[in-house]
A and B are shown apart, each in its own frame.
Chain A
Amino acid sequence: MMLKHFKNQSKINLVLGVACLLTSCTKTINLDLNSSDPKIVIEGNVSDGAGPHLVRLTESVNFSDENNFPAVSGAFVVINDNLGNKDTLQEAGSGYYYTTTLQGVSGRTYTLRVNAKGKSFEAVSSMPTKINLDSITFLKSAFGNPNPGDEVYVPAPRFVDPLQEKNWYRFIVTLNDTIDKSIFVDNDNLINGLPYQRPIFSGELFPKKNDSVAIEMHCIDQVTYDYFYSLNASIGQGPSATTPANPVTNIKGEGALGYFSAHTTQRLKVQVK
């Protein structure tokens, strides 16, 4: 997965790199793109960390509009778990709705229901077992470094993948105070039951010695993995990218966009040595 991201990146960079030597160029163009009706976008998260847990409702806009995504207010948002606990979320403004009583616990299944603008949506996600992120190691890298000559490093989270179950992971990388916007998700198809030590190749941030790097690891369920995997694939653009499509979502309801994820969370922060 991360490898794929990395591979596409390298290929495009190389094609463009070679072509650059032969006078390629990029420029901003005006395209007359179709407009579409506003669609409701749901970003729902329940974690095993301290609450409140947030659900955000916004709307889509046309491509030519400003990046100002209208918040949806006055919605009815409720999350249930499979033990019969129910929490009706309170509105906090800017499209955010927060839980007051709900606990995120591994092994429980959560159901999100949203009624907004006369439409109703439902999504289900299960919180997987928590896997302990043991440490972060760094590998010296030569990939995609924008400033050749600098010595840059690639972080690799280390933990042991359990043998008995299927696992899916999401990593959020922060360099000093900058969050890496790339999406990093992975599964244990090839490493089931083994120590995990795959490096996270980023096309964006290049840690150097003495920088501080944090990795937030989420254990996610398959539907969440599928969402982020396909979101990432649709972001990939260029000659070697797949035909873009809306990501595969677990939200049911007319024209729904976004995801609902119940996941564990753990953060480690270390200095590059």
Chain B
Amino acid sequence: MNLIRTILVFLTFLIIHLPSFAQEKFTINGTVRDKLSGEELLGASIRVADMNNVGAKSNEYGFYSLSLPKGTYTLKVSYLGYEEAQQTITLDKPMKLDWVLALKGKEVKEVKISAKKQNENVTQTTMGLEKINIQEIAKLPVLFGEKDVLKTIQLLPGVKSAGEGNSGFFVRGGSADQNLILLDEAPVYNASHLLGFFSTFNSDAIKDAVLIKGNSPAQYGGRLASVLDVKMLEGNDKSYHASGGIGLISSRLRIEGPIQKEKSSFLIAGRRTYADVFLKATEQFKENRLYFYDLNAKANYRINKNNRVFLSGYFGRDVLGLGDQFGIDWGNKTGTIRWNSIINPKVFSNTSLIYSDYNYNIAIQGGNIKFNIRSEIKDVNLKQEFQYFRNAKNFWRFGLNVIHHTLTPSRFEGDAAVFNQPGNTARKSLEYAAYANNTYSFNNKLTVDYGVRLTFFTILGGDTYNVYDNGQITKSVVLKEGEFGKTFINPEPRISMNYLLNETSSFKMAYARNTQNLHLLSNSATTSPTDAWIGNSYNIKPEVADQVSAGYFRNFKDNTYEFSGEVYYKDMQNQVDYKNGADLQSVPDIESELLFGRGRAYGVELFFKKKKGKFTGWISYTLSRTERKVNNINDYKWYPAKQDRTHDLALVGMYQLNEKWNIASNFVLYTGNAVTFPSGKYSINGQTTFYYTERNGYRMPLYHRLDLSATREGKKHKRWQGSWNFSLYNAYGRQNAYTITFEDDPDDPSKTRAVKTALFRWVPSITYNFNF
């Protein structure tokens, strides 16, 4: 219990602060919203004119609170892409002040918007944080013309794509499952559609997305590498609108509007691909099915001025089939009920009840054989958080989180006469955490954000847990239903510091420990719908990552240009891997096939962005290394992880030609993944077999690609407005290697050859988007 005492001492230390000055203070609070739709704006900045480093930010529900000494102030509120608003107030009593901001109109000449302080990147304390501008995403060229948050973040430093056209991503040397992907607070266990070519996020339904690369504040937990926090739109509470898009591969439709004007609203957004329609037209794929659809729905209701409830849900499914003999379908379901309450002008509370489910089902049938393979992960999750806006320099966040996991591992379900059913037991566990986080500005220069998250993971009864040593059972733990098994406790301290060197530059440092109690068992380079999640057990310990990072942030020319340079080092423990030749399909207990090891990752990330003017865009470059060291693999020597890429470069440019036309382009270039290629060959049963020496000792060829797009805004007809988007993926048709395989040369069986497969040369697409 020494550990717990240490934590309590630490927490007490956190709460004791430099005494606040005795001057009388009043609190201003309210919300920041979009003028037309009534949507809350998240992370809008509320500043006091002529007072450096004093201000507030609207939280994830658009709420802000700011306490200032009695006096007269000019408050300025700004938000990316919106007109700044300002108001002079005389503060002699607590007041409520709601803001509405208008979207920057076309008629406003870009040049005129100047003399604004848009230096959030310099002043914010959290490191490695990237806010994704949803409006910007729409202009960038993408594969199949389907704009995608997950693909846009891959153009940022420290984030790597999982492969050609893939929505999977790796952050700072982490694997794909080490990203916590949240949709309205609900974890999304498989964020990809159609074998990774699309993400589950329909950008029509998204309001805001933030990516934090490993140094997240204490309210987030559960994954090692990053947090991608995606928030859905609330729906317009003033009038009804519809918008959508018609593309070559998929179409989208969104409907939103008030239920009771300015009191409640709803939003429904749907999307479906129709690639299967084209497939049906070809003789070869006639009997196949291949499509996905998803649906986002949300409603909210203002009970009174201090209380509001939100209901949001996501449902998505992929269906893939070959004739009537083989079919697989998979998908996520999430649901969130939230209750926001302003307890007093300084204390904001949010309670969330979250449900999240991911499952897949493979159905195979042939003659008198018929069986299914199913797997499911189901979470019920309760969160309570308080935000305490103590004063303009001191902000607290603390809360509790309890998640009940039910993990049903992949099992055959079939005719009992054909398959002996091995019980299909679901494993249950409880993951719970308490956290406190404080953001404190010591003076005009130094702001510290620090906190601790105390994470618990308890194995719940109902199954037998075997302990393995080198694949052999050494012990069995039988846990009865209702019994509590082993509990893992992990304190996770987090600290970030921001030192403002002057108004345009800052130096930041951060340390964070993250732990992960659920692990994805994936044997392949890309994520597959059948990858299985598994919890901690008597063999599998929580994964632990310690990351330190430091960075220099600088803005130039009145915040027109923004530059940042960050370095990081990350150490990872208890990484899970399969042993060579692991039997994944039929082995009675997958845990006997696992190996454990360490990981390390380090790198430099450079980012330079032009934010204003007719031409905008950025350059992002990452120099990094990611390695693993696993017992029984590669003679227990460090080897490069699959996603280790030395260089990773992205150039993004957008240019507003005139009021109608906007053109954009991006170029990416990166070192090929680390791969294992043969260093020899031999014959087994007359078949050429390859001989391997070291793990991941080779490289795929250099990858590079240029994409182009043009958007034409149509004329506004009464309410209807349409726009055309033309894009060309891989404009110069480079045949980037998707896979390299080795085989006997069919033309000359005395030789072997290496065969490269490339996907997607010159993929053009046209999308018509509309709203009314």
Residues of A within 8 A of B696 (CB): 243
Decide yes or no: A67 and B749 within 8 Å by CB, A22-B763, A246-B692 being known contacts.
yes
A104 an interface residue at 8 Å Cβ cutoff? no
Binds A, one of B49-57, B183-191, B283-291: B283-291
Are B195 and A14 interface neighbours, CB within 8 A? Answer: yes
* A194 CA / B422 CA spacing, docked (Å): 13
Taking CB atoms and an 8 Å cut-off, the chain B residues in 683-698 that contact chain A are 683-685, 687-693, 695-698
Are A29 and B369 interface neighbours, CB within 8 A? Answer: no
Among A14, A16, A43, A60, point to the contact of B681 (Cβ < 8 A): A60
Residues of A within 8 A of B362 (CB): 7
Are B763 and A247 interface neighbours, CB within 8 A? Answer: no
Are B369 and A63 interface neighbours, CB within 8 A? Answer: no
Are B690 and A244 interface neighbours, CB within 8 A? Answer: yes
B658 an interface residue at 8 Å Cβ cutoff? no
Taking CB atoms and an 8 Å cut-off, the chain A residues in 232-273 that contact chain B are 233-235, 237-248, 257-259
Residues of B within 8 A of A243 (CB): 523, 525, 642, 675-676, 695-696
Residues of B within 8 A of A137 (CB): 367
Are B682 and A148 interface neighbours, CB within 8 A? Answer: no
* Chain B residue at minimum C-beta to C-beta distance from A62: B680
Are A26 and B526 interface neighbours, CB within 8 A? Answer: no
Name the residue in B687, B688, B698, B759 with the highest tally of chain A Cβ atoms < 10 Å from its Cβ: B759
Residues of A within 8 A of B739 (CB): 237-239
Within the complex, the shortest CB–CB distance from B108 to chain A, in Å, comes to 40
Are A197 and B369 interface neighbours, CB within 8 A? Answer: yes
* Chain A residue at minimum C-beta to C-beta distance from B588: A189
Among A25, A67, A186, point to the contact of B688 (Cβ < 8 A): A67
B702 an interface residue at 8 Å Cβ cutoff? no
* A27 CA / B754 CA spacing, docked (Å): 8
A190 an interface residue at 8 Å Cβ cutoff? yes
Are B683 and A3 interface neighbours, CB within 8 A? Answer: no
B614 an interface residue at 8 Å Cβ cutoff? no
Decide yes or no: A23 and B741 within 8 Å by CB, A60-B682, A242-B578, A244-B676 being known contacts.
no
Chain A, 116-142, contact with B by CB distance < 8 Å: what is the 0/1 string? Answer: 000000000000000000000101111
Are B163 and A239 interface neighbours, CB within 8 A? Answer: yes
Are A66 and B369 interface neighbours, CB within 8 A? Answer: no
* A19 CA / B695 CA spacing, docked (Å): 29
Are B525 and A239 interface neighbours, CB within 8 A? Answer: yes
Decide yes or no: A10 and B682 within 8 Å by CB, A19-B760, A29-B756, A230-B581 being known contacts.
no
Residues of A within 8 A of B422 (CB): 189-190
Are A240 and B695 interface neighbours, CB within 8 A? Answer: no
* A178 CA / B755 CA spacing, docked (Å): 25
Residues of A within 8 A of B526 (CB): 239-240
Are A60 and B684 interface neighbours, CB within 8 A? Answer: no
Are A3 and B741 interface neighbours, CB within 8 A? Answer: no
Residues of A within 8 A of B364 (CB): 3
Chain B, 502-523, contact with A by CB distance < 8 Å: what is the 0/1 string? Answer: 0000000000000000000001
Residues of B within 8 A of A186 (CB): 586
Taking CB atoms and an 8 Å cut-off, the chain A residues in 39-60 that contact chain B are 39, 41, 43, 58-60
B344 an interface residue at 8 Å Cβ cutoff? no
Residues of A within 8 A of B105 (CB): none
Are A16 and B757 interface neighbours, CB within 8 A? Answer: yes
Are A154 and B682 interface neighbours, CB within 8 A? Answer: no
Within the complex, the shortest CB–CB distance from B521 to chain A, in Å, comes to 12
* Chain B residue at minimum C-beta to C-beta distance from A5: B585
Residues of B within 8 A of A41 (CB): 682-684
Within the complex, the shortest CB–CB distance from A39 to chain B, in Å, comes to 7
Residues of A within 8 A of B320 (CB): 14
Query: Which secondary structure dominates where chain B touches chain A?
Result: loop
Within the complex, the shortest CB–CB distance from A36 to chain B, in Å, comes to 4
B308 an interface residue at 8 Å Cβ cutoff? no
Residues of A within 8 A of B528 (CB): 11, 240
Are B680 and A61 interface neighbours, CB within 8 A? Answer: yes
Among B278, B367, B525, B584, point to the contact of A139 (Cβ < 8 A): B367
* A58 CA / B526 CA spacing, docked (Å): 36
Taking CB atoms and an 8 Å cut-off, the chain A residues in 160-213 that contact chain B are 181, 186-187, 189-195, 197-199
Taking CB atoms and an 8 Å cut-off, the chain B residues in 466-490 that contact chain A are none
Residues of A within 8 A of B692 (CB): 234, 244-246
Interface size grouping (class) on chain B? 35 or more
Taking CB atoms and an 8 Å cut-off, the chain B residues in 747-772 that contact chain A are 749-763
Are B325 and A141 interface neighbours, CB within 8 A? Answer: yes
B678 an interface residue at 8 Å Cβ cutoff? yes
Number of A-B contacts (CB under 8 A): 242
B282 an interface residue at 8 Å Cβ cutoff? yes
Are B585 and A22 interface neighbours, CB within 8 A? Answer: no
Residues of A within 8 A of B757 (CB): 16, 24-26, 238
Chain B, 33-65, contact with A by CB distance < 8 Å: what is the 0/1 string? Answer: 000000000000000000000000000000000
Binds A, one of B309-317, B412-420, B492-500: B412-420
Residues of A within 8 A of B586 (CB): 1, 186-187, 189-190
Decide yes or no: A67 and B580 within 8 Å by CB, A23-B763, A245-B676 being known contacts.
no
B635 an interface residue at 8 Å Cβ cutoff? no
Residues of B within 8 A of A23 (CB): 760-763
Among B326, B642, B697, B755, point to the contact of A26 (Cβ < 8 A): B755
Are B735 and A27 interface neighbours, CB within 8 A? Answer: yes
* Chain A residue at minimum C-beta to C-beta distance from B249: A22
* A156 CA / B366 CA spacing, docked (Å): 11
A83 an interface residue at 8 Å Cβ cutoff? no
A93 an interface residue at 8 Å Cβ cutoff? no
Are A234 and B322 interface neighbours, CB within 8 A? Answer: no
Within the complex, the shortest CB–CB distance from B769 to chain A, in Å, comes to 22
* A81 CA / B583 CA spacing, docked (Å): 30
Residues of B within 8 A of A240 (CB): 524-526, 528
Within the complex, the shortest CB–CB distance from B673 to chain A, in Å, comes to 11
Within the complex, the shortest CB–CB distance from A116 to chain B, in Å, comes to 14
A69 an interface residue at 8 Å Cβ cutoff? yes
Residues of B within 8 A of A139 (CB): 366-367, 369
Residues of B within 8 A of A246 (CB): 580, 691-692
B169 an interface residue at 8 Å Cβ cutoff? no
A110 an interface residue at 8 Å Cβ cutoff? no
A107 an interface residue at 8 Å Cβ cutoff? no
* Chain B residue at minimum C-beta to C-beta distance from A56: B683
Are A190 and B419 interface neighbours, CB within 8 A? Answer: yes
* A48 CA / B744 CA spacing, docked (Å): 33
A143 an interface residue at 8 Å Cβ cutoff? yes
* A126 CA / B326 CA spacing, docked (Å): 37
Residues of B within 8 A of A15 (CB): 195
* A197 CA / B370 CA spacing, docked (Å): 11
* Chain B residue at minimum C-beta to C-beta distance from A15: B195
Are B754 and A66 interface neighbours, CB within 8 A? Answer: no
Are A194 and B417 interface neighbours, CB within 8 A? Answer: yes
Among B412, B524, B530, B578, point to the contact of A239 (Cβ < 8 A): B524
Residues of A within 8 A of B114 (CB): none
Within the complex, the shortest CB–CB distance from B483 to chain A, in Å, comes to 27
Name the residue in B287, B582, B757 with the highest tally of chain A Cβ atoms < 10 Å from its Cβ: B757
A87 an interface residue at 8 Å Cβ cutoff? no
B740 an interface residue at 8 Å Cβ cutoff? yes
B587 an interface residue at 8 Å Cβ cutoff? yes
Decide yes or no: A190 and B524 within 8 Å by CB, A28-B755, A33-B678, A237-B741 being known contacts.
no
Among A4, A27, A63, A244, point to the contact of B680 (Cβ < 8 A): A63
Residues of B within 8 A of A22 (CB): 759-760, 763
* A63 CA / B698 CA spacing, docked (Å): 14
In addition to A23-B763, A26-B756, A141-B325, 10 A-B residue pairs with Cβ atoms within 8 Å of each other are A23-B760, A23-B761, A23-B762, A28-B745, A29-B740, A41-B682, A63-B680, A63-B752, A226-B581, A240-B525
Of the A-B pairs whose beta carbons lie under 8 Å apart in the complex, a sample of 22, sorted by A's number, is: A24-B738, A28-B755, A29-B737, A29-B740, A33-B678, A33-B698, A58-B682, A61-B682, A63-B690, A139-B366, A142-B324, A194-B420, A195-B418, A198-B369, A199-B366, A230-B580, A242-B523, A243-B523, A243-B675, A245-B692, A248-B581, A257-B682
Q: Which 6 interchain pairs have the tightest Cβ spacing?
A: A230-B581, A142-B323, A139-B367, A60-B682, A245-B580, A237-B741
